[in-house]
Structure 1
Amino acid sequence: MILLTRKADFSAAHFYWNPAWSEEENARVFGKCANRQGHGHNYTLEVTVAGEIDPVSGFVVDLKQLKDILEREVVSVYDHRHLNFEVPEFEHVIPTTENIAVAIWRRLEGKIEHAKLHRVRVYEMPDLFADFYGEGA
């Protein structure tokens, strides 16, 4: 089995806010990230797939197909969007780095032919990222 990773980038805005909490509690827990106007990040996405090398092509997966899937399922949906207001999966979920990784996994699961989704890593900043290995991991 080989693990293959493809990267993609997108820019998006978000804020952290729990509607069940008071404004004071949101400010205490989330600090300046609770500003409802939001703030932006240049995210880096790494998607790792696992599979066997095709003896004819030498690939685990068609690289153009993987790039196209990431573009269609993630980049075109998230790039230059306000995640809280424009991306359906964050209507009732706080768009933390962790929740973004889970949401991307769910968008990609079952859509990559001839390989199994192994890991989704989302970098919010160079020194902050979240890894997700699937619902049953």
Structure 2
Amino acid sequence: MIFLTRKAEFSSSHFYRNPQWSDEQNTAVFGKCANPHGHGHNYTLEVTVAGEVDPVTGFVVDLKLLKDILEAEVVSVYDHRHLNYEVPEFADVIPTTENIAVAIWRRLEGKVPNSRLYRVRVYEMDDIFADYYGEQVADASATVIGQAEVVS
């Protein structure tokens, strides 16, 4: 089994607000990230697929095809967009790094031929990223990793 990772980048703006909360509570929890005008990030996306090497091509997956899938499913949808207002999956979900990773997984799942989606990593900044592994269960020595893992 080989794990192959491809990177892509997109720039988006967003804000953190729970519509069920008051302005005061949103500000208390999210700070300046609760500003309804938002703020932006230059995100880096890493998508890792797992599969066997094709003996004819030497690839797990055609890299150009993987790039085209990332462009069509993620970059063209998220790049230079306000996630809260312009991307359907965030109409009712706060676009945190964790939720962005989950949404990207859902956009890509089943769309990369001859391989299986293994990991989606989204960097909000160099020192903040979230990993999502789908609804898989890790080996017996680990816990369920179907939730986003945040490293900061």
Per the normalisation by structure 1, the TM-score is: 0.99
Shift of 1:88: 0.1
- What is the match of residue 19 of structure 2? 19
Shift of 1:135: 2.4
Q: Using the alignment, how far apart are the partners of 1:17 and 1:54 within structure 2?
A: 46
**After the TM superposition, which residues 82-121 of structure 1 pair with which residues of structure 2 at under 5 Å, given as runs?**
82-121=82-121
Shift of 1:12: 0.2
Greater relative contact order (Cα 8 A, min sep 6): structure 1 or 2? 1
Q: Using the alignment, how far apart are the partners of 1:21 and 1:50 within structure 2?
A: 41
- What is the match of residue 39 of structure 2? 39
- What is the match of residue 7 of structure 2? 7
- What is the match of residue 70 of structure 2? 70
Q: Which amino acid aligns with 1:57?
A: T
Shift of 1:97: 0.1
TM superposition outliers: structure 1 runs of 4+ over 6 Å: none
Q: Using the alignment, how far apart are the partners of 1:11 and 1:77 within structure 2?
A: 11
Q: Which amino acid aligns with 2:83?
A: L
Query: CA deviation digits over 1:63-108, x for unaligned, max 9?
Result: 1000000000000000000000000000000000000000000000
Structure 2 SS opposite 1:113: coil
Q: Which ranges in structure 1 are unaligned for 5 or more consecutive residues?
A: none
Structure 2 SS opposite 1:18: coil
Q: Which amino acid aligns with 2:72?
A: R
Q: Using the alignment, how far apart are the partners of 1:58 and 1:91 within structure 2?
A: 41
Q: Which amino acid aligns with 2:78?
A: Y
Shift of 1:118: 0.1
RMSD: 0.5
- What is the match of residue 143 of structure 2? none
Shift of 1:9: 0.1
Percentage of pairs with the same residue: 78
